Amino acid sequence: MDRSGLKDSRPFWGLTDLLLGVLCVLYLISGTRGGEPVSVVAIEGAFPYVALYFCAKVLFRAGGRVAHAAVLCSLCVWGAAESVKGLSQVFGHTPSGHSLFGMTGSFSNPGPYGGFVAVSCAVSLGYLVRHRA
């Protein structure tokens, strides 16, 4: 297997990884009440952040163009998904996250939603112009 795109194939475990593990354990312990098992809500609350951290760790460990392209592509897909969610709120298919505004996407306020969609559209357009086939 050609590993020319990888910096180093060995995983690097440092202080940040240890602190994240301790934080997750404390979070799960705080989810227990009176000897009851950890609630599903607590596990579902912690898992996405831990998964995102380790995916980013692996991605940036690969480095170079692979990581750069993956981050840009994921931002483009995320921006498109937010745009679709916002349009479905405008057309009444899904409820908005705010009672006064009709379009908030997955955000609870239209301001950050609009800023994110604007930036992701600009990044997507730049990515398409630069890498058109």
Per-residue pLDDT of 56-115, as tens digits, reads 787 777 777 777 788 888 888 888 999 999 999 999 888 888 888 888 888 888 999 999
- Return the closest-CA partner of residue 104 out of 122, 77, 83, 79: 83
Tokens matching residue 125:
């357009």
Q: How confident is the model at residue 1 (pLDDT cuts 50, 70, 90)?
A: very low
6-41 pLDDT, tens digit each: 555 566 778 888 888 888 778 777 767 667 776 677
Residue 129: both structure tokens together: 């112009």
Higher pLDDT, 8 or 119: 119
Segments making up each domain of the chain, as ranges:
10-62, 64-133
State which H helix or E strand residue 71 sits in: helix 64-90
Does residue 123 have a pLDDT over 80?
yes
All residues at 6 or more sequence positions from 78 whose CB lies less than 8 Å from its CB, including other chains: 120
- The token pair that represents 116 in the structure block: 């994110």
